[in-house]
Structure 1
Amino acid sequence: MPKTVDREEQRRQIGTALLELAAERGLDEVSVRTVAAASGRSAGAVQKYFSTKEEMLAFAAELAGERVERRMAEVGTTLPARQALRELILTTLPLDTERRADATAQLAFAVHAAHHPRLAAIRRQVDQDVRQALVTWLESAGHGENAGAVADAVIALSDGLALRMLYASSEQEREGLLTALDRALDVLIGSPGA
C-alpha cells in the first residue's frame, strides 16, 4: 500500500526549517540545498513541495506571520487595555528561543521584501491583518476615536523594540528596553490603575 503523505504538513516542516536557518544564519544562507539539509530531506524532496526559492520564502514568511498571530491570539483580551497591549507586544519580542527565531526571521524577510514584490505583498498583508485585529480590539476596549493611531503606535513600538532587542548585548540593556515599553504604554493608554 502506498504511503500517505500530508502535503501541507511536509510544507510546514520545510518552512519551519527555513525559519530556523534564517534565524541562525540569515537569508543569505537559505537555498533549496541548505533548507533540504536543515529539514533532513534531499533537495529533490524539497523541490516536490516548492519549485523555487522564492516560493519557499513566501511560504515561510506566511508561516512566520501565523506563528506571531497564534501567540497574539493566546493573549487574554479581557485583561485591562494597558496590560493586554503589553502582553501583545511581548509576544513579538525576542525574549525566548522561539520568539528570537521569529523576530530574526521577520527582520530578514522585511529586508528581503524591499527587493521582492511577492514577499513584500505577503508582509503587507500580515501587517494589515495584525493592525486590523488590534484596531478591532482597541475599539472594543473603548479607544474607538483613536484606535487606528494607537494601533500604528503599538506596532511601531513593537517593531522597534524587537529590532533593538535582537542586538542588545546585555540583560540590563534588554530590561531598559522593557522599561521603555512601559513608559510608552503609559503615554498611549495610561499607567496601570489610572
Structure 2
Amino acid sequence: MPKTVDRPEQRRQIGAALLRLAAERGLDQISVRTVAAASGRSAGAVQKYFRSKEEMLVFAAQLAGERVEERMALVDTHLPLRQALRELILTTLPLDEGRRAEAAAQLAFALQAAHHPRLAAIRRQVDHDVRDVLAAWLDRVGCPDAGATADAVIALSDGLALRMLYTPAEQSSLLDALDRALDVLTPDVPSAT
C-alpha cells in the first residue's frame, strides 16, 4: 500500500524550519538547501512542496502571521479592557525562546518586504486583518476612537517586540513601559498592577 503523505503538514514543517533558520541567521542565509537540511529533508524533497525560495518565504511569512493570530484568538476579550489589551500585546512579544525566534523571523520578513512586493502584500494583509479585528473589538466594548486606539496598540506592540529582540535584558523595564502606555490608552480603567 502506498504511503499517504499529508502535504499541508509537510509544508508546515518545512515552513517552521525556515522560520527557525530566519530567526537564527536571517533571511539572507535561507536557501532551499539550508531549509532542507534544517527540516531533515533533501533539497529535492523540499522542492516537491515549494518550487522556489520565494514560494517558501511567502508560505513561511503566512505561517508566522497565523501563529500570532492564533495566540491572539486565545485571549479572553471579556476581561476588563486594559487587562485584555495587555494580554493581547503579551501574545506578540518575544517573552520566551519560541516567540523570540518567531519575532526575529517576523522582523526579517518585514525587512525583506521592503524589497519584495509579494512579502509586502502578506505583511500588509496580516497587519490589516489584525487591525480590523482589534478595532472591531474595541468598538464593541465602547472604546472611543477604536481605530486610532487599535493603531496605537499595534505600534506599541511592534515597538516593544523590536526593543525586546535587541535588549532582552531590559524586558522588565519594557513591560513597565507597556503598563504606563496602557494607562494612557485606557485612562478610565484602573491599573491591574
TM band (smaller chain): over 0.9
1:189 to 183, 186, 189: 186
1:174 to 168, 171, 175: 171
| Alignment correspondent of 2:124 | 124
CA contact (8 A) 1:93 1:103 kept: yes
Gapped runs of 5+ residues in structure 1? none
Could you say what secondary structure the match of 1:175 adopts?
Answer: helix
Q: What is the number of residues matched between the two proteins?
A: 191
Deviations 1:135-184, CA, capped at 9 Å, x for gaps? 111011111x40000000000000000000001152xx211111111111
Q: CA deviation at 1:191?
A: 6.5
- Classify 1:169/1:162 alpha carbon distance in 2 versus 1 (closer, same or farther; 3 Å): closer
Amino acid at match of 2:76: G
In the alignment, the residues of structure 2 paired with residue 193 and residue 168 of structure 1 have an alpha-carbon distance, to the nearest angstrom, of 29
Could you say what secondary structure the match of 2:125 adopts?
Answer: helix
CA contact (8 A) 1:89 1:154 kept: yes
Deviations 1:15-58, CA, capped at 9 Å, x for gaps? 00000111111111111000000000000000000001000000
Q: CA deviation at 1:190?
A: 2.1
Gapped runs of 5+ residues in structure 2? none
In the alignment, the residues of structure 2 paired with residue 94 and residue 78 of structure 1 have an alpha-carbon distance, to the nearest angstrom, of 24
CA contact (8 A) 1:82 1:189 kept: yes
In the alignment, the residues of structure 2 paired with residue 35 and residue 164 of structure 1 have an alpha-carbon distance, to the nearest angstrom, of 28
Please list, as runs of the form range in 1=range in 2, the aligned pairs for 1:149-164 lying within 5 A after superposition.
Answer: 149-164=148-163
| Alignment correspondent of 2:106 | 106
| Alignment correspondent of 2:79 | 79
In the alignment, the residues of structure 1 paired with residue 39 and residue 168 of structure 2 have an alpha-carbon distance, to the nearest angstrom, of 30
CA contact (8 A) 1:31 1:53 kept: yes
Amino acid at match of 1:146: D
Cα RMSD between the aligned structures?
Answer: 1.1
Runs of 4+ in 1 over 6 A off after TM superposition: none
